[in-house]
Structure 1
Amino acid sequence: MKKIGIGYENYKRIIDDGCYYIDKTMLIRDIVEKGGMVTLFTRPRRFGKTLALSMLRTFFEKEYDFDGNLVDKSRYFAGKKIMEADEKILSMMGRYPVIKLSLKSAKQPDFRTAFKMLRNEIIGEYRRHSYLWQADILGEQEKNELAALARAAEDSEIREQDRFTEEVGRYATALKTLSDCLQKFHHENVIILLDEYDVPLENAYYAGFYQEMIGFICSLFESALKTNDALEFAVVTGCLRISKESIFTGVNHLEINSVYDNGFEEAFGFTHEEIERMLCDYDMEDRIEEAKEWYDGYLFGNTEIYNPWSIIKYVAEIGVNGKQFPRPYWANTSSNQIIKDMVWHADEDMREELDLLINGGTIEKQIHEDITYDDIHASEDNLWNFLFFTGYMKKVSERREGETIYLTMCIPNAEIRSIYKNQIRGWFDEVVKGTDRSELHKAVLEGDTEGIADYVSDLLEKSISTFDSEESFYHGFFLSLLYGVKGYSVRSNREEGNGRPDIVLYPNRPKNPAIIFEVKTRKKFNRMEEGLEEAYQQIRDQKYEEGVLDDGYLGVVSYGICFCKKSCIVGRLP
């Protein structure tokens, strides 16, 4: 079996290390034949965008070895689909100077630090092309400018705001300067590859310096992509399609391809056929349906697509390392801040929509392809659009009403559903922690079953009914409410009698009775009384009360509590 290259984002290394690779090389041909002068691809994170740019660079870039010999790129593509392309495409292999820049390092707490990280990325690309400084074809002024831009100014040099502003301006046009010099040296136009273009903007939005960052990015892109006569073509990748008017001002030859669009559907992510082949290659044929349930569900254009990062992790853990169960691998690649914000600030209508989605339903929303980070929280529709374009929702169907397009959307798969659930659990835990429970504790001590039920049901009414049939959730939820009952210690699943009661409150003074709660759930309201009877019967059959009394306590009171959605009923054992 071939090695699974977890976390590999360098195409050359995948080939050199003999890693398993699902062939996406026809993107090279499609970029040339179907792409624009500037092509923007937006896909969810961890869908192979960085690897795709690395593959494009490997194919197109003119490179020399240490002895000054031209590197033969064909060895990196032997046996790949692109080698079946026509002569026009193959003649472009190893022909062009390439500038490749990742913007993800700009995830910083303030604009100065973020800018310096982007500046360092640009400087790194300058130094990669340091042979230009000795090129006879370039004039002394050009060489001096290249050398100056390849040196980072010391912090002491740009401490004053005027000097810092000047430094920002210098690097706003740095890609164009490098392009001009590369074109002059190689006698070929330049290919520019920009990865994770929206990371600086998303980070700046949440960190509070959005306007400063968008000003720099706009200037950088305008000079590199609009007014650049040395440009052959450019490919830009990110997660969200930012409004053309806000960042791609004046780039009239821009082609945008998002998860909503046709064309390039199979370039990012894995198709069902590719997944079947991969699972068979790792003797996991019996896991195809499981993989589909957990990691399928995306619709790019009209093509069904799997999450590639999660599939690679899944095959590595289960097919190679022998683990048993799938997990939400994608959930651990980001803070999922947008989901957290949504859950924690949801109004009643949005909570109802989340209820519907998490329980397998759909919602319909107007599609807005051009939004900015500033707009995300401006309307509920914008938030749902953000979730759709970044992979947290998928298209089920669409309809047009006049000039407006509406999408019917749902949660893509079990992995994404678990992300929503985990955020909701965290939010609800905080709600419980911040709640005054004295009224509930009073009802428990007084044996007021109606008061207990009313309090708990009122609290559940504020929640999102994600855990309708999960007894473990209701058990943990009710247990957390009982901590702090005056004069009692709370224990869960401690052995008593012939079993383990769900919850027991043990008195600190023996004159007070111990209190037992047995928790049950039902999916239908008309079966909740049946749930109470089941709780009573379990208390009797397992002799929980006898076990507590054998521990030396003088009395014991037992209750059944049954949950259904956002309601509960409580009864005392007859």
Structure 2
Amino acid sequence: MTRKLYPIGIQTFSEIRTNDNLYIDKTAYIYRMANSDGKYFFLSRPRRFGKSLLVSTLLSYFGGRKELFKGLAIDNLENEWAEYPVLHFDLSGGKHQEEDQLNRYLDFILKDNERRFGVECDAVDANVRLANLIASVYKKTGKQVVVLIDEYDAPLLDVVHQDERLESLRHLMRNFYSPLKQCEPMLRFVFLTGITKFSQLSIFSELNNITNISMDEAYAGICGITKEELLTQMSDDIDRLAEKLSITREVAIQQLKDNYDGYHFTYPSPDIFNPYSLLNCFSKEKIGAYWFGSGTPTFLIEMMRKFGTTPMDIGESEMADVSDFDAPTETMESIVPLLYQSGYVTIKDYDEDTNLYELGIPNKEIRIGLFKSLLPNYLTRSSQRGKVAIAQMSVLIKNGDIDGALELFRTFLATVPYCENTKYEGYFQQLMYVVFALLTDYRILVEQRTSKGRTDITLETQDSIYIMELKFDNTADEALAQINANHYADAFAMSNKKTIKVGIGFDVKDERNITDWKVER
């Protein structure tokens, strides 16, 4: 069977359908939303998760382009196919801009919509222009207007850690969105997408009748590719990948799951795969880190510094109340909402008794990509050599040579230039966590709870569990003694894997390196 072309980098629904590219059918969600109570909707999803394609699909739907939907779910649901005038605003072009630049960009996208409908306006202010545009189109067509706003928060994300710049740009965007409420009688449907929630924008403070469907169970699979969609609509793609990689279909599915699955945007929720990574994987016929390769989480790293968040804080599971997911970005008290909204952690479980959600890193692609992006913060100019050393350590551990891996790590650390702020235990513990978290194919836990205390680092491979204890300015013998005295290994007695205890001594003050280690198998 000849495969359909993958729409890599194509976010226009009409182009995908006209060219008969692969399209994962999400039109049942669109029909439900367009024909439900209310007319204002907001959806938050991470970047590269199909939000723009969803907006483009709504554009074609409300444009009455019935021919594009032939054979899709909505073809059997919609009978009227009414055509509405649609105003489409893509704010993704407003990134990395100062106030005057953003003003000019708003002028540009307003002019584009005014030109399409033959509307003229002498006003300068963006909010007046938008109000006039909606009213003029409503009067000209005699029909209610549809407003679609993609990536509404794009101009604000990169300055979220800069209070003064954030305030000025937020004020500008607040004015731009303000007409949406006053124009309500002239509007048929309003849909906004973004990554985060800025509560002080008018769409969330003044437009108090907006429906946030981000955590609605009915829309859990509206973006991304569910496991069911993968196994049915992409079944042939799985087989082609398996043949290319010379593995079984079952192994291919497991590798796709390990690398790209794991997202849940509510509970209960189907398993959601990252669509950008999945399509690139099938297109290149190779398991790779595609989502992280498409962008650097600069704003996330800046916010980690602002909140004093360490890599270990992200790597460990976190409990969150439902209100944390909806916390205003500019007033949040922890980095958890931003990590969740941006896709670096996701919902793993839910406790009905406490009404708390368990959060964790979704998959291997995110874990490896995130910690690689954090590595330069600890190794400065040595980060490239560090990646090479980590890859070599991974092979040594895979072969059961923990001594060789630690010797390699010690040799590498001896080449790293340090500054004054590295003279504390937390720095080295965080560095070691990042390094071990980057070891391919292994599960890493820090300060894992046992009945007798917490292990410093637990590294789980395919056939072994390494229990590591670090002693700063102390000996490996004392570190190993603590493992035995607290019976840390007992917690893994039922695992059917070899348990290997590793005591590590570390000199923080002078050598700033591993001094010795002891291994007990």
TM-score over 0.5 for the alignment? yes
- Residue in 2 aligned with 1:296? 261
Question: Which residue identity does 1:191 align to in structure 2?
Answer: V
Question: Which residue identity does 1:385 align to in structure 2?
Answer: P
- Residue in 2 aligned with 1:173? 128
Q: Distance in 2 between matches of 1:331 and 1:39?
A: 29
2:218 to 263, 266, 270: 263
Q: Distance in 1 between matches of 2:426 and 2:144?
A: 67
- Residue in 2 aligned with 1:314? 281
Worse-matched range after superposition: 424-433 or 260-269: 424-433
- Residue in 2 aligned with 1:68? none
TM-fit CA distance, 1:228: 3.6
Q: Flag the 1:569–1:108 CA change in 2: closer, same or farther, 3 A.
A: closer
Contact in 1 for aligned 2:312/2:433 (Cα 8 Å) = yes
Contact in 2 for aligned 1:218/1:249 (Cα 8 Å) = no
Contact in 1 for aligned 2:324/2:336 (Cα 8 Å) = no
User: If the length of structure 1 is used for normalisation, what is the TM-score?
Assistant: 0.64
Q: Flag the 1:104–1:459 CA change in 2: closer, same or farther, 3 A.
A: closer
Q: Distance in 2 between matches of 1:274 and 1:334?
A: 26
Q: Distance in 2 between matches of 1:17 and 1:469?
A: 42
Q: Distance in 2 between matches of 1:247 and 1:296?
A: 32
After the TM superposition, list the runs of 4 or more consecutive aligned residues in structure 1 that deviate by more than 6 angstroms: 454-459, 469-472, 526-529
Contact in 1 for aligned 2:199/2:329 (Cα 8 Å) = no
TM-fit CA distance, 1:371: 3.4
Secondary structure of 1:466's counterpart equals helix
Contact in 2 for aligned 1:25/1:80 (Cα 8 Å) = yes
Q: Flag the 1:123–1:471 CA change in 2: closer, same or farther, 3 A.
A: closer
2:113 to 125, 129, 140: 125
Secondary structure of 2:104's counterpart equals helix
Question: Which residue identity does 2:374 align to in structure 1?
Answer: I
Mapping 1:220-231, distance limit 5 Å: 220-231=176-187
TM-fit CA distance, 1:59: 1.5
Q: Distance in 1 between matches of 2:39 and 2:343?
A: 27
2:170 to 195, 214, 221: 214
Question: Which residue identity does 1:312 align to in structure 2?
Answer: L
Contact in 2 for aligned 1:218/1:248 (Cα 8 Å) = no
Secondary structure of 1:180's counterpart equals helix
TM-fit CA distance, 1:291: 0.7
Mapping 1:398-417, distance limit 5 Å: 398-399=350-351, 406-417=356-367
Question: Which residue identity does 2:16 align to in structure 1?
Answer: I
Q: Distance in 1 between matches of 2:437 and 2:167?
A: 47
Q: Flag the 1:313–1:462 CA change in 2: closer, same or farther, 3 A.
A: closer
- Residue in 2 aligned with 1:390? 342
Q: Flag the 1:51–1:471 CA change in 2: closer, same or farther, 3 A.
A: closer
- Residue in 1 aligned with 2:387? none
Question: Which residue identity does 1:425 align to in structure 2?
Answer: L
- Residue in 2 aligned with 1:374? 330
TM-fit CA distance, 1:401: 8.1
- Residue in 2 aligned with 1:569? 515
1:147 to 120, 125, 128: 120
Secondary structure of 2:221's counterpart equals coil
Contact in 2 for aligned 1:97/1:186 (Cα 8 Å) = yes
2:151 to 193, 196, 220: 196
- Residue in 1 aligned with 2:436? 468
Q: Distance in 2 between matches of 1:458 and 1:389?
A: 28
Contact in 1 for aligned 2:347/2:360 (Cα 8 Å) = yes
Q: Distance in 1 between matches of 2:439 and 2:46?
A: 34
Question: Which residue identity does 1:272 align to in structure 2?
Answer: K
Q: Distance in 2 between matches of 1:469 and 1:387?
A: 18
Q: Flag the 1:222–1:410 CA change in 2: closer, same or farther, 3 A.
A: same
TM-fit CA distance, 1:98: 0.7
Q: Flag the 1:226–1:422 CA change in 2: closer, same or farther, 3 A.
A: farther
Mapping 1:38-117, distance limit 5 Å: 38-61=40-63, 73-85=65-77, 89-93=78-82, 95-117=83-105
Question: Which residue identity does 2:514 align to in structure 1?
Answer: C
TM-fit CA distance, 1:128: 1.7
Which of the pair has more CA radius of gyration?
1
Contact in 1 for aligned 2:84/2:146 (Cα 8 Å) = yes
CA RMSD of aligned residues (A): 3.4
Question: Which residue identity does 2:515 align to in structure 1?
Answer: I
TM-fit CA distance, 1:236: 0.8
Q: Flag the 1:19–1:414 CA change in 2: closer, same or farther, 3 A.
A: same
Q: Distance in 2 between matches of 1:195 and 1:299?
A: 22
TM-fit CA distance, 1:276: 1.6
1:355 to 312, 327, 331: 312
Q: Flag the 1:568–1:342 CA change in 2: closer, same or farther, 3 A.
A: farther
- Residue in 2 aligned with 1:478? none
TM-fit CA distance, 1:11: 0.4
Q: 1:275 aligned to 2:230?
A: yes
Contact in 1 for aligned 2:181/2:206 (Cα 8 Å) = no
TM-fit CA distance, 1:375: 2.1
Contact in 1 for aligned 2:326/2:337 (Cα 8 Å) = no
Q: 1:232 aligned to 2:188?
A: yes
Contact in 2 for aligned 1:296/1:306 (Cα 8 Å) = yes
Contact in 2 for aligned 1:244/1:370 (Cα 8 Å) = no
Contact in 2 for aligned 1:221/1:248 (Cα 8 Å) = no
2:205 to 241, 249, 256: 249
Q: Deviations over 1:210-241 (max 9, x none)?
A: 22222222222221244342111111111112
TM-fit CA distance, 1:327: 1.7
Contact in 2 for aligned 1:226/1:251 (Cα 8 Å) = no
Contact in 2 for aligned 1:195/1:236 (Cα 8 Å) = yes
TM-fit CA distance, 1:468: 3.3
Q: Flag the 1:178–1:343 CA change in 2: closer, same or farther, 3 A.
A: closer
Q: Distance in 2 between matches of 1:110 and 1:458?
A: 37
Secondary structure of 1:300's counterpart equals coil
TM-fit CA distance, 1:38: 0.6
Contact in 2 for aligned 1:393/1:411 (Cα 8 Å) = yes
Mapping 1:154-169, distance limit 5 Å: 167=124, 169=125
Q: Distance in 2 between matches of 1:215 and 1:458?
A: 40
TM-fit CA distance, 1:399: 4.3
Contact in 2 for aligned 1:28/1:56 (Cα 8 Å) = yes
Q: Flag the 1:272–1:418 CA change in 2: closer, same or farther, 3 A.
A: same
Q: Deviations over 1:422-456 (max 9, x none)?
A: 123111112979xxxxxxxxxx9xxxxxxxxx999
Q: Flag the 1:232–1:247 CA change in 2: closer, same or farther, 3 A.
A: closer
Contact in 2 for aligned 1:469/1:523 (Cα 8 Å) = no
Contact in 1 for aligned 2:199/2:205 (Cα 8 Å) = no
TM-fit CA distance, 1:247: 4.2
Contact in 2 for aligned 1:97/1:182 (Cα 8 Å) = yes
Secondary structure of 2:301's counterpart equals helix
Q: Distance in 1 between matches of 2:137 and 2:369?
A: 46
Q: Which runs of 5+ in 1 are unaligned?
A: 63-72, 131-145, 150-165, 434-443, 445-453, 473-520, 530-561
User: If the length of structure 2 is used for normalisation, what is the TM-score?
Assistant: 0.70
Secondary structure of 2:172's counterpart equals helix
Q: 1:424 aligned to 2:397?
A: no
Q: Distance in 1 between matches of 2:142 and 2:192?
A: 24
Question: Which residue identity does 1:22 align to in structure 2?
Answer: I
Q: Deviations over 1:24-65 (max 9, x none)?
A: 111221112335221011111111111111111111116xxx
Q: Distance in 2 between matches of 1:231 and 1:471?
A: 53
Secondary structure of 1:45's counterpart equals coil
